Structure 1
């Protein structure tokens, strides 16, 4: 991310807690947990199952702001389950089935609790289908920024970091549970619907157009997006044949043309430095500046509010490796996303006639950098320990996170540093990792070096380190 600032209640819930009767075959399952105890968003995600695929069929009417959806969630039970939760905020749930049989359900806040007709056995793969509709909500983050389903002048924009995806589809909304996606969106004729992955179908019938998108590689739900509106669409390929799909609001077309033309060059540069690109397409969505407060690394197709500058484009494309493919295990590990993407900006600057990464680092340490408004902000807390949910996108996570990486580079030299970076993206490709995984990996790849001072002073230490 690149931030510019930053119904059926009541008694039904009691039924879910009651044991199965003897005629149901007795009790062997338990309800899955609501929340996965994320240190900053404890209600996010759910226990007891692992999602492997989301099939989302959506229809949106911008004039009425009405969304109708059917979500088919394919998952594997990780324990014996008598019930499980899905995250869904707002919207009206009409029906839930599990393995084709009607299931009881209840709502409480963002929790949609589902009780299947039959218990689910550990290891069992099952499909839960949820039919829902209504006016999707815009969610205000702890830091004051907005996400979820954002209304735009000609449609809508769905952004999910960190919790917004639950505003438009039910799911296991925590970065630790990744899945493949099929997202099919029907909109009034004349509008486009852009999402992640590759466009597999576009058909118009009776005044409505259907856009079907397929993302085969695992994706955290906060990286899913749908952009609905009038867009100028451009399809090209990189020099290596990677499909590039750009969707640009007509008001931003002129301002975006030159910078988006750099996507193939940036992708080649990033692949050389970070390892093979982990997905099957790339591109960008450029909406109007008033549509969002920040750019976001939505998988394969980053979103920008207005035409980005080159370094912002580099930042969000670098996230495809750091954050999208290698995804944090919890929101505490955001620096692994943002520190790497910020350092990618430094490296691009270094390789393209600007300040060296060392010069950028020194300016930040000395308080003379233009990259932050307040030079003291980056020392407010250590990057590996943000001081609450409202601060996971603050300067220490970005700039001081990048400084950690530069200290590693200083310690081991360029050859070993790039071996570490490329090995890291390969070792955790399409997976999840946390800070402890990263520090252990660095130490393993450079066993002759002592990193204790970097970890204690720069990664976990409070305040400004005594020496740069």
Structure 2
């Protein structure tokens, strides 16, 4: 009886303590900070843990004369753990304030990390809205391979390019390809200029000498293929044979050559859909800027960017990325060959189907070492395996492109044309608007051709060091 009476007195006391602690904490389970990176093998600081972004609403204003950008980023996300704090990637720019769920949040900066501490902890599974107000002169970043990205100033405006890390130069976010989201980008510029972005132009309004362009991207998009092109452009609007909108912006200095090559977009899209399956987005097109504005083309989603008018093969390459890279996006930067190998092989297939060299001839020319005029370029193909990079500086090197395409040709040789096209179309369909890695791909190929042995291809061509013994 005495034991029972002591026990019954202790239970209410313990409950009272628990209630008091819960009241002090504001309710729910105590959260912990989300990770400041997703441990990408080549860019470990990029991306953040603890949440998944579903939508970015960017309201921006840019003045090319003062070179200043003013922005508000409204980020809708879902907590994947109980969160007391979370990080956003933002390089440079000055933060004026942050709110989470309408309440002022504490924040601090350390390098590219903007750490946000909400007024109340966020529960796992909770959808929340964070708003960041910022401004400043956006930075041009230098990649590990020495190329320029981020915010590139041009003669008449600016060009925002994000692969692999540049998008953090113009808006805060979870800047890793594994976290894709929809976008609304509203940008105000002087009225003599255009502002072009991804997706569809939903409105264009002018007032007090400035024009606001509103762009909407409904399909999931990785931040590295978000773009913003500000300048004087000739704008053309058309449709493909099946009614897909085509929106193209061409710098006046590139008008003659650019208009000629862009006229091929409908034919290329028809060919690409026949080979790769249904187009994954609701519009297409291109931005052609001056050759000095960037030193590479980029597969920015639904609207690839080119420095100067591209040739047909480069246009094919970047449009093929809409399937392989933009829709089926790598889980990490280790898997870049799944982007570039496919897009390079698309060039080979285009040549094969349009009275050029066959893919098999290109493959053997690369293997023999007489494809490029410069012997060093031929030798560079064998510097490392396409799925086994040793540093971030290698993600745009020749093995990722050429040897990646050779892996696909080896698969085609093994399974035959009919099953090969089933594989590349099925791969695009199976991971449409998602993320995938090399293990996913090899497993998919083996599933689609269970009667074939791919061990030599994986061991020698995909992961093997040096040049394989046999073509």
Q: Same fold by TM-score, threshold 0.5 exceeded?
A: yes
Give 1:166's aligned residue.
168
Residues 408 and 26 (structure 1 numbering): CA distance in 2 closer, same or farther, change over 3 Å? closer
Match for residue 229 of structure 1 among 224, 228, 231: 231
2:382 to 379, 387, 410: 379
- Which of residues 448, 453, 463 is equivalent to 1:450? 453
- Map Cα deviations across residues 186-207 of structure 1 (whole Å, 9 max, x no partner): 0001100000000000000010
- Structure 1 window deviating more from structure 2 (24-33 vs 283-292): it is 24-33
- Aligned mates of 1:227, 1:148 — CA distance in 2: 12
Which residue of structure 1 lines up, in the alignment, with residue 362 of structure 2?
Answer: 360
Residues 123 and 65 (structure 1), Cα distance of their counterparts in 2 relative to 1, 3 Å cut: same
Decide which of 69, 77, 80 is 1:78's aligned counterpart: 80
Match of 1:139 in 2: 141
Structure 1 range deviating more: 229-238 or 255-264: 255-264
TM-score of the aligned structures, taking structure 2 as reference length: 0.94
1:32 to 34, 55, 62: 34
Give 1:190's aligned residue.
192
1:35 positional shift: 0.5
Task: Could you list the structure 1 runs, at least 4 aligned residues long, displaced by more than 6 angstroms after superposition.
Answer: none
- Cα distance, 1:414–1:380 mapped onto 2, change above 3 Å: same
Instruction: Please name the residue that 1:12 is paired with.
Output: none
1:282 equivalent in structure 2: 284
Q: Distance in 2 between matches of 1:383 and 1:370?
A: 19
- Cα deviation for residue 25 of structure 1 reads 5.0
Q: Measure how far apart 1:374 and its partner are.
A: 1.7
SS of the equivalent of 2:370 reads coil
- Structure 2 distance, partners of 1:61, 1:241, is 36
Q: Given the alignment, which residue of 58, 63, 69 partners 2:71?
A: 69
Work out the CA distance in 2 between the residues paired with 1:445 and 1:71.
43
SS at match of 2:188: strand
Q: Is the contact between residue 29 and residue 82 of structure 2 (CA under 8 Å) also seen in structure 1? A: no
| Relative contact order, higher structure (CA 8 A, sep 6+) | 1
Do the aligned partners of residues 339 and 23 (structure 1) sit closer, same or farther apart at CA in structure 2, a change above 3 Å counting? closer
The CA deviation at 1:454 is 0.2
Higher Rg of the two aligned structures:
2
Hey, what's the Cα distance between the residues in 2 that align with 1:20 and 1:317?
54
Structure-1 separation of matches of 2:31 and 2:293: 45
Aligned length: 450
What residue number does 2:121 align with?
A: 119
What's 1:106 paired with? 108
Q: What are the Cα deviations for residues 122-170 of structure 1, in whole angstroms up to 9, with x where unaligned?
A: 0000000000000000000000000000000000000000000000000
Match of 2:439 in 1: 436
Q: CA deviation at 1:236?
A: 0.2
The aligned counterpart of 1:48 is 50
Per the alignment, residue 4 of structure 1 pairs with none
- Looking at structure 2, the residues matched to 323 and 27 of structure 1 have their Cα atoms a distance apart, in angstroms, of 39
CA distance in 2, matches of 1:43, 1:467: 40
Distance 1:231 1:244 in 2: 15
1:253 to 252, 255, 266: 255
Q: TM-score, normalised by structure 1?
A: 0.95
Q: Which residue of 1 aligns with 2:400?
A: 397
Partners of 2:462 and 2:430 lie apart in 1 by: 22
Residues in 2 aligned to 1:73 and 1:168: alpha-carbon distance in whole angstroms: 14
Aligned partners of 2:215, 2:390: CA distance in 1, in Å?
38
DSSP-derived class of the 1:235 partner? strand
Tell me by how many angstroms 1:22 deviates: 3.6
Partner of residue 7, structure 2 = none
Shift of the alpha carbon at 1:257? 1.7
User: Does the alignment pair 1:426 with 2:429?
Assistant: yes
Aligned mate of 1:338, from 326, 337, 340: 340
**Shift in Å, 1:370:** 2.5
Question: Residue in 2 aligned with 1:89?
Answer: 91
Distance (Å, rounded) in 1 between the aligned partners of 2:277 and 2:204: 33
1:131 counterpart SS class: strand
Aligned equivalents of 1:185, 1:318: Cα separation in 2: 28
- Counting only pairs closer than 5 Å after superposition, residues 148-167 of structure 1 correspond to structure 2 as 148-167=150-169
Q: Contact 2:299/2:322 (CA < 8 Å) preserved in 1?
A: yes
Mapped partners of 1:129, 1:198: distance in 2: 24
Correspondence 1:312 to 2:314: yes
- In the other structure, the counterpart of 2:469 is 466
For the aligned residues, what is the CA RMSD? 1.3
How far 1:387 sits from its partner (Å)? 2.1
Q: 1:413 aligns with which of 416, 420, 430?
A: 416
Query: Partners of 2:196 and 2:226 in 1: how far apart?
Result: 11
Residue of structure 2 equivalent to 1:11: none
* Residues 247-280 of structure 1: CA deviation (Å, up to 9, x unaligned): 0000000111211100000000000000000000
Mark the runs of 5 or more structure 1 residues left unpaired by the alignment. 1-18
Pick which of 398-407 and 369-378 moved more.
369-378
